[in-house]
Structure 1
Amino acid sequence: MLIELDIDAFIAQKSEFDLLIDARSPKEFYESHIANAQNFYALSDEEHQEVGTLYKQVSRNDAKLLGARYICQNVAHHLEHIAKSYKIGSKIGIYCARGGLRSSSIAIILSHIGYQVFRLGGGYKQYRFYVLSYLENLPHYRFIVLGGNTGCGKSELLQSLQPSIDLEKLANHLGSSFGSIKGAQPSQKAFENSLCEILCKIDPNAYIFIEAESKKMGTCTIPALLHVRLLQGYRIEITAPLEQRIERILKEYESMTPAFFNQAMQMIAPYIKKTVKEAVLHAYEEGNLSEVAKILLIEYYDLVYKKPRHIDAILDNADESATLEALNALHVKLSTV
């Protein structure tokens, strides 16, 4: 069975698929893809480039013949894994870049074997249009926004609150000069896809817990309308004792390499006093990371942090369980108004 679905039907049935196949090249898949998809490519990166060049510069027919040969070889290899992991009759969703030959070639073979195959018409291009349209016309308008100085435990609170969105986790960035310590960030497309997938599962009328962030988080940019909604949200300023803030910073930065530290210090050097920079470097050389964190919190992070003009409430996070209780009570209160 082979059925072609439009994007709305595909999204509605996506959770029912036993396997979701991205038939694009590994390079395309790595940049961004639909959540939970697996990359059973029709053409490898090299093959995709070769066939594309042949198609544009030499002969369309020759390109189709070469592409078909490569696809048959790749599908033969993929079938070994698919057959072992997914029994005949399983539901399989599939897409390629534009809903063309790459996905249709694999879909036809799988359907003839006996799988229930659902192909996305218009391919990944249609999915991206869906994501961008959703974010540009965001139906969610109720946000409880957690702000506050670095190290006050906002991210930890979000992990225990529902519904919530952790933008720093999605962007793999801490939203500061040392924010890229988590490693490589997702592409902007991947960031938007993940954000959309989470939002789609949340009632548009529900209050959503989220952390206050700058529009730019490293290389990722928060969608314009969402950022506006954050600025308009119910703002809670989270505070915490300095000792606890230092402990949290140390946990975040325990994997920091000397090279990363020096690079980050160069970035913030224009914004701190020379004596502060020297004190931080000396503490780091001495291996006193607690002192490094303390100085940076007091002499850099706290000074550059800009409090909003309007704050609806202030919560001290010295006791996380008490803070969570207060936040959950607030959520109930706001939701019943």
Structure 2
Amino acid sequence: MSELTQITDFTRLFTTDTPLIDTRAPIEFEQGAFPQSQNLSLMSNDEREKIGTCYKDKGQAQAIELGHKLVQGDVKNKRIEAWLQFIKNNPNGALYCFRGGLRSQITQQWIYEASSVNYPRIKGGYKALRRFLIDETNRIMQQITPIVIGGQTGCGKTLLLDKVNNMIDLEGLANHRGSAFGNATTPQPTQINFENALAVELIKKQHKTTLLFEDEGSNIGTVHIPDCVQAKTKQAELILLEANIEQRLKITMDVYVINMHNDFIMQDSIKGFDNFAQYWLRSLEKIQKRLGLERYKVLLKLLNNALLKYKEQGDYKDFYPVVEELLVNYYDPMYDYQIKKKMNRVAFKGNSDEVLAYLLD
């Protein structure tokens, strides 16, 4: 068993997007894994719990014996079949368990016995890979020069960043746009998955002299930006992207109304509009206290009218006054307050073309 191949070059794993079999139980995988991994577990959650109890009460030998009793016959064959199918589709992949111990060794051995394929396992398993990614995030953030792109809500920061290849899309990795209205139609990643995906992006782009980040707070929705990233970006050169209110209205309408509605419809053609409406109503409710009761009531009435017209006539134009009110009288004052504390870091300001020209100079 120990003669089968182990992998120790973790950097290459992530720069080449090596497909990975995660042999841990589903509950472990759900808590955190790696972007290119698929959960094909050796043991189910229930089996893992029983074996863990046996290990505590009776020791390793009897726990292993129980494991072989629980995973045998058709159960064993189906799991081997799943691994072999993965290997057929991903011949250059690898596998891992939590510490690179018994689970991945047994999986590797069973694969070899069934197919004569020496499919490599990760030395140290998930724990070693996770530690590696945390350390790499810290190391790379120390060595690169970040540049931060700021600007008013709706000015097109994400659209600008999409035009350059030396950027780290924190909001994309977090699956959230970083505001009360920032939820996507799909859930955010776990904190661990967010950190792992961020680390992989940093590893892939570490050779670039500078990396661009969007100006963010300490959290994006439910995920926390690693402290080492915050520490470096909060001291970085700041470039302000400028846009007039007409441009900001168009961008915001596209992102939060038209595209969001389409995303909800694509996800569920029957309940899509209702889910879209609930997204807007819940998002507005989140900022009720900041708006004040009277402003909230006015906006809620406008929003309900806009939703009704959109549903009945397919006309989204009544969203314009809602969006404009939020941009001008809610988000802009907060932006003005925050940017005053950062003016000493501003190196350049301009429209999208001017900022791109400055970055490429």
TM range (shorter): 0.7 to 0.9
Q: Look up the SS of the partner of 1:146 in the other structure.
A: strand
Matched, 1:101 2:102: yes
Distance 1:13 1:189 in 2: 18
Counterpart of 1:313, as a letter, is F
Q: 1:91, 1:116 within 8 Å by CA — same for their partners in 2?
A: no
Matched, 1:172 2:172: no
Instruction: Report the equivalent of 2:69.
Output: 69
Instruction: Report the equivalent of 2:351.
Output: 316
Counterpart of 1:122, as a letter, is G
Cα RMSD, aligned residues only: 2.5
Could you say if the C-alpha distance between residues 178 and 31 of structure 1 is closer, same or farther in structure 2, counting changes exceeding 3 Å? same
Instruction: Report the equivalent of 2:4.
Output: 2
Alignment equivalent of 1:136, drawn from 117, 126, 138: 138
Instruction: Report the equivalent of 1:224.
Output: 227
Instruction: Report the equivalent of 1:148.
Output: 151
Alignment of 1:29-44 (within 5 A): 29-44=29-44
Matched, 1:111 2:139: no
Instruction: Report the equivalent of 1:281.
Output: 300
Matched, 1:302 2:305: no
Alignment of 1:144-293 (within 5 A): 144-254=147-257, 255=261, 257-287=276-306, 288-293=318-323
Distance 2:173 2:145 in 1: 20
Distance 2:178 2:56 in 1: 43
Q: CA deviation at 1:82?
A: 4.2
What is the TM-score normalised by the length of structure 1? 0.87
Instruction: Report the equivalent of 1:52.
Output: 52
Q: Look up the SS of the partner of 1:103 in the other structure.
A: helix
Q: CA deviation at 1:200?
A: 0.4
Deviations 1:214-270 (A, max 9, x none): 011121111112112212222111121212222222233233634333332232122
Q: Look up the SS of the partner of 1:180 in the other structure.
A: coil
Alignment equivalent of 1:126, drawn from 122, 125, 128: 128
Instruction: Report the equivalent of 2:264.
Output: none
Q: CA deviation at 1:204?
A: 4.4
Distance 1:259 1:13 in 2: 41
Q: Look up the SS of the partner of 1:2 in the other structure.
A: coil
Deviations 1:64-106 (A, max 9, x none): 2221234445442133344445449934411111112111111
Deviations 1:49-68 (A, max 9, x none): 22222322456444322212
Q: CA deviation at 1:161?
A: 0.8
Q: 2:42, 2:79 within 8 Å by CA — same for their partners in 1?
A: no
Matched, 1:331 2:359: yes
Q: CA deviation at 1:35?
A: 2.3
Instruction: Compare 113-122 and 207-216 and name the one that shifted more.
Output: 113-122
Deviations 1:127-157 (A, max 9, x none): 1111111223334431221101111111111
Q: CA deviation at 1:124?
A: 0.6
Counterpart of 1:51, as a letter, is I
Distance 1:206 1:17 in 2: 22
Could you say if the C-alpha distance between residues 52 and 129 of structure 1 is closer, same or farther in structure 2, counting changes exceeding 3 Å? same
Q: 1:41, 1:74 within 8 Å by CA — same for their partners in 2?
A: no
Distance 1:83 1:229 in 2: 44
Could you say if the C-alpha distance between residues 91 and 229 of structure 1 is closer, same or farther in structure 2, counting changes exceeding 3 Å? same
Instruction: Compare 233-242 and 113-122 and name the one that shifted more.
Output: 113-122
Q: 1:18, 1:90 within 8 Å by CA — same for their partners in 2?
A: no
Distance 2:18 2:111 in 1: 13
Alignment of 1:76-91 (within 5 A): 76-84=77-85, 86-87=87-88, 90-91=91-92
Could you say if the C-alpha distance between residues 12 and 147 of structure 1 is closer, same or farther in structure 2, counting changes exceeding 3 Å? same
Q: Look up the SS of the partner of 1:90 in the other structure.
A: coil
Of all paired residues, the percent bearing the same amino acid is 28
What is the TM-score normalised by the length of structure 2? 0.81
Q: Structure 1: where are the runs of 5+ without partners? A: none
Q: 2:17, 2:36 within 8 Å by CA — same for their partners in 1?
A: no
Distance 1:166 1:3 in 2: 35
Q: Structure 2: where are the runs of 5+ without partners? A: 262-274, 307-317
Q: CA deviation at 1:211?
A: 0.5
Distance 1:298 1:10 in 2: 48
Distance 1:213 1:71 in 2: 48
Distance 1:238 1:17 in 2: 33
Instruction: Report the equivalent of 2:25.
Output: 25
Could you say if the C-alpha distance between residues 39 and 169 of structure 1 is closer, same or farther in structure 2, counting changes exceeding 3 Å? same
Deviations 1:23-43 (A, max 9, x none): 011222122212211211101
Instruction: Compare 189-198 and 13-22 and name the one that shifted more.
Output: 13-22
Q: 1:100, 1:123 within 8 Å by CA — same for their partners in 2?
A: yes
Counterpart of 1:294, as a letter, is E
Q: Paired residues, what number? A: 324
Q: Look up the SS of the partner of 1:232 in the other structure.
A: coil
